[in-house]
Amino acid sequence: MTILDLVLYIAIAALVLTLLTGFVLKSHKSWLMTFLQNFCGSLFIFSGYVKAIDPLGTAFKMEQYFAEFFYTFKDTAVSFIAPVFPWFSEHSITFSVVMIVFEIVLGAMLLLGSRAKLTAWLFLLLVLFFTVLTGFTFLTGYVPSGVNFFEFGKWGEYLETNMRVTDCGCFGDFLKLKPEISFYKDIFLLIPSFYFVFKHKDMHQLFSAKVRTILLALTTLGFTIFCIRNISWGEPVFDFRPFKAGTDVRSLKEAEAEAQANVKITHYKMTNKSTGQVVTIPMEQYMKEFKNYPKEEWTLEQIKTKPEIEPTKISDFEISDAEGANITEEILGEENYSFMVVAYKIKQAEGTKSMTTTIVDTTYIVDTVKAEGSDSLTLVKKIDKITPREVQSEVAVFERDYEQLFSDIVNPMLDKAQAAGYKVFAVTAPNDPAVIDDFRHATQSAYPFYTADDLLLKTIQRSNPGVVLWKDGKIVQKWHYKKLPSFEEIQQDYLK
């Protein structure tokens, strides 16, 4: 689905609602106002709903924004603003739920015509907020690496690779929009936003004030519970991510890599650093004339064909072992069933603790022995004494509740899987190898821990920890730790 398809469906739904409002409920004052109420209200409800399915995805996206805002403001004249963003990041899940529910409720207020003036102003403020987010994302495409956003004189040509956040997350994982499209979408929404503010008296109102209040209260409560359910009680009810159950990751990764390899350079776009002159010529011509465009005087941009398959996060699926070796092919090439524990963040507690380890020192003596009937000498090594000694070492400390998720829930099932001959491993974000090893020992996890990009792991599994069942490069099923079946149930339902 594209954004144009979505807008068309929303417009059709808004038209039906408008006809019902006007001819059945007879509540309209202005056909244009009623249509815009229904269109914007339906758009906000749908946008909020697809994010409510996966509130953690929105929270992770907001963390990216907060991190970029922190680094953008910290070295400026308004650096006093910067410290608020790490605090926002720490509470990104709460922020996500509040924003999602607010967006849905605001959409319902537009449909119902509740508190017209307040609704109009809230809608304008929320659209302005979204415009700032998407505008920042889009405009960072003009900001070269190492340049602060506010150093306008150092802005250059627009490059997608310059963008700090690659998509706005407006429709979660249901529909990925390029920041440029998202920004223009929000600019377009400013038109009805100002119209609502200046013409709010023309808004239709459905039902009585009491009924509207009850409906809004139920909407708020219902979607708050729905969001919390999708965060705390299980994986999202609908999985729009590229790593959903049933996905053949190995085949898709190969297809995306092949499509990317087949991308061809068709033209070169050169910009003169002094005059600003822009020259675009075919690749063949550039290869003959490149000496006329020295890099000291011209910036160079390649114009390429679009890949037949747009890359997804599957292209970034890379796993490394403890020594840093890439073992992706080994993981995806496992023909039998295998169990992968996803732990995108090992939760450490503050400080360390001392651990006493007993080490045995062995002292040897070497004797020279002459073999009977021969002049050759042989060295014989014998144990002289064995001395145990205790060594104190500092090890990392982890949140007790998080440790118990492994020791009490995940590992008992995995121990049975290993005993049955299935491969078991865990993947976590890059960390100090000693910390990962300390955690493995603390939880008595009898399987290896590998590493991968934390954003990749968050895309694969929202639960931390969670379990993914693989077979021959395909995802068979995924489980939140709170919904993890016993090994016997998995064996009966999936290991066939």
Q: What percent of the chain shows pLDDT beyond 90?
A: 55
CA dist., res. 258 & res. 103, Å (int):
40
Kindly report the number of other CB atoms within 10 A of residue 475's CB atom: 18
Tokens representing 383 are 């144990």
336 closest CA partner among 476, 487, 485, 484? 476
Q: How confident is the model at residue 496 (pLDDT cuts 50, 70, 90)?
A: confident
Looking at per-residue confidence, does 79 or 471 come out higher?
A: 471
pLDDT in tens, 229-286: 888 877 788 888 999 999 999 999 999 999 999 999 999 888 888 887 888 899 888 8
Compute the average pLDDT of residues 398-406: 94
Q: What percent of the chain shows pLDDT beyond 70?
A: 93
Comparing 92-101, 126-135, 174-183, 238-247, which segment has the lowest mean pLDDT? 174-183
| Confidence (pLDDT) at 360 | 59
pLDDT at 155 over 90: no
How are beta strands 298-304 and 265-272 bridged, if at all?
antiparallel
Looking at per-residue confidence, does 108 or 70 come out higher?
A: 108
CB distance 434 to 394 below 8 Å: no
The CATH topology of domain 241-262+310-347+399-496 is Glutaredoxin (3.40.30)
What mean pLDDT value characterizes the chain?
89
Domain residue limits, the chain: 3-232, 241-262+310-347+399-496, 264-304, 353-396
Max CA pair span of the chain: 121
Q: How far apart, in Å, are the Cα atoms of 103 and each of 2, 13, 97, 178, 219?
A: 21, 18, 10, 21, 11
Predicted TM-score of the model (pTM): 0.81
Q: How confident is the model at residue 218 (pLDDT cuts 50, 70, 90)?
A: very high
| Confidence (pLDDT) at 376 | 67
Quote the DSSP letter at residue 307. P
| Confidence (pLDDT) at 309 | 87
The alpha carbon of residue 289 and the mean position of all alpha carbons in its chain are separated, in whole angstroms, by: 43
65-79, 108-122, 372-386: range with highest mean pLDDT: 108-122
CB distance 436 to 442 below 8 Å: no
